[in-house]
Structure formats: C-alpha cells, structure tokens
Amino acid sequence: MDAFIELDGVEKVFDVRRRTGFLRRERRRVRAVDGLSFTVARGEMVGYIGPNGAGKSTTVKMLTGILTPSGGRLRVAGIDPARERTRLAHRIGVVFGQRTSLWWDLPLIDSYRLAHRMYRIPDARYRENLDRLVELLGLEALLDVPVRQLSLGQRMRGDIAAALLHDPEILYLDEPTIGLDVVSRTRVREFLGELNAGRGTTVLLTTHDLQDIERLCSRVMVVDHGRMMYDGPLAGLHEAGESERTLVVDLERELPPVDAGPEARVVRVEGPRQWLAFPASVSAAPLVARIAAGYPLVDLSVREPDIEAVIGRMYAGRETVVPGTGNS
C-alpha cells in the first residue's frame, strides 16, 4: 500500500506552566500525542475522532509542520513536515474550522489573490480552480464581501476554497462543519465527498459530528489521550463498543414483558408496544420467530445501534480496543 501519510510512534509533549498561587507556578507536562502510529493511503478519506483534548488538532498541526513532534517519525508525501514545511505546503491544504485563514478585513477575493501569488499558482490554473470552487461552494455573491461580514457557514466555504486553490493532494480538515446549519453542513459534505471521489484528494477529517463520518468515511480512527483507540471500518465500531440493536414489537394488547430467549431482554414497555435490546452481532430472525410463535404479534421493526451511543461508551470506557481491520 502506498502510505501517503505515515506516523510511527509520534509523540508531542507540551510543557505548561500554571499559576497555582501568588508567585507560585507549577510545571506540568502534557502528553498531547502519546505514541501514535497509523498510515493513510493516497486517495483515502479517513475520519479522525476523539473527545475534547484527545490530541486531534495537535496531530493535524504536526502533519502540516506547524508543530514539531517530540518523538517518533512522521512523513507526509515522503516529506518531514517540520523540516520542510514550505515544500509540503504546496502539496497540502488545511482548514481549521475554529480559525480562519482568510484576511478578516479584506473582501474574500483578496485572500484568494494572495494565495495565487503565495503559492505561485499558474494564472490559467488559478482562474480555472477559482471558477470551479466558486461554483461548487456557492461563493459567487460573496467574493466582494469583507470576510468579517460573512456568516460562519459562508466563511467556512470560503476557507475550504482557499485551501484548495493550489490543487493540494492532501486536505486536512479540523472540524469543517462546526456550528454550521443543516443546509450548509450538507453542502460542505457533498463537496468533500465529490472532492475525494472525483479528484482523488486524500482527506483526513477531524470532527465531532458523527454524521460527517457516517456520510463520508469508510474508515475511522478514534484517539483518546493521544493514543489510538480504534482504527478500522465504521461498522466495526459497533462490535468494538459492544453495541446493541433494538427490536420494537407491537402486540395486539398490553402484555407482561415477552420472553424472546436468553439473547434479548425487554428494556421498555408502553401499552401494547415493547422494546427488546439484543447484541448487534446476533441475528434478529430467531428472536422474531420466537415472539411470533408465542405472542399475538401485529408489527415489528429493528433499530440499528446509535453510533453516538457506541462512541460515547467508548470514550467513557477508555480502554484500548484491538482494531478489527485497518492499520494502526
């Protein structure tokens, strides 16, 4: 496999000084990234998730060369980011949702003109890319508006375009949909999906919005305390998180909790409707057969486990999960 992004035992330690009283300071070491190893192949789109303070943004900053790792080995497109940050800059694009890279007081188009010169983008290519991005991200009416007057969603689209004008092969997105409304979020998602599928751009997507991941990424990496907790397909998280599915049955009338065998347990009863939880790895068919044989069944449905709940349990458990597949 062509490892386009490669981390091997990468660490980042911050020395923080904290005031603990008048004239008293305490020094503390924060291991923001603690021996992280993974690879991303060219053309992949990988979700990068974890609770607050897990080390996600720190990882992205090391991948761009903004921060130098305290240990381990890191390569992006064969380049050591911290040592050759400028050379790498021509091959990557980055969007930090919490901070804009645009010029606050200038019209949007001016930031693009600056990028044109800064990255020495050939004129024809610049015009072609600008036209395409403006159209795809709906920026036409915003080009002459000062960035500070843009709404959050407009600014985010503006930032994404700025990150892509120089045709980067890799795009890092650190919470690109934070604070966006449903329409803007969908628009950004569709754009990113198209960018990855159509142009083959390699994408590392950090987000707290699991729907971003569900829509866009077949592979997800979960970090906590700077360590890899899971690296594999999104579906594998269900098994790793010991998640449960729910069978909802409607009976003819109100009855005591049904017995559907040892795998399932009734978790809720409301009139003639009952909810049964069972392991996600177990087939629903025998449970249904058993209920249908022993009770006056009118209707039923199976609900898939809620990915939010699975991940919530994973964060809360704080145990390392052995990855199913993928490369950790």
The count of residues in the chain is 328
Residues 28-57 that bind ligand ATP (CB under 6 A): 30, 32, 50, 52-57
Q: Is 283 left (phi over 0), alpha (psi -120 to 50) or beta?
A: beta
Q: Least separation, in Å, of the C-beta of 192 and Mg ion? A: 18
Kindly indicate which of the ranges 39-47, 55-63, 71-79, 251-259 contains the residues binding Mg ion, using the contact rule CB under 5 A. Answer: 55-63
Closer to ligand ATP by Cβ: residue 18 or 120: 18
Q: In which order are the strands placed within the sheet that holds 265-270? A: 265-270, 273-279, 244-251, 297-303
Which string of x and - marks every residue 9-28 that binds ligand ATP (by CB under 6 A)? Answer: -----x-x------------
Residue 251 binding partner per list ligand ATP, Mg ion, none, with a CB distance cut-off of 5 to 8 Å that depends on partner kind: none
Q: Which residues of 90-113 are buried (b: 16+ CB within 10 A; e: fewer)?
A: ebbbbbbbeebebeeeebbbbbbe
**Separation between Cα atoms, residue 221 and residue 206, nearest integer Å:** 10
Q: Total residues contacting ligand ATP (rule CB under 6 A)?
A: 12
Q: Least separation, in Å, of the C-beta of 110 and ligand ATP? A: 29
Residue of the chain from 7, 45, 47, 57 that contacts Mg ion (CB under 5 A): 57
DSSP 79-104: B-TTTSHHHHHTTEEEEETTS--S-T
DSSP letter, residue 146: B
Chain centroid, CA 145 distance in Å = 30
Residue 50 binding partner per list Mg ion, ligand ATP, none, with a CB distance cut-off of 5 to 8 Å that depends on partner kind: ligand ATP
Closer to Mg ion by Cβ: residue 55 or 81: 55
Q: Least separation, in Å, of the C-beta of 60 and ligand ATP? A: 8
Of 139, 98, 94, the residue nearest 115 (C-alpha): 94
- Establish if 64 lies at the interface with ligand ATP (CB under 6 A): no
Q: Which residues bind ligand ATP (CB under 6 A)?
A: 14, 16, 30, 32, 50, 52-58
> Which spans of this chain sit near Mg ion (rule: CB under 5 A)?
56-57
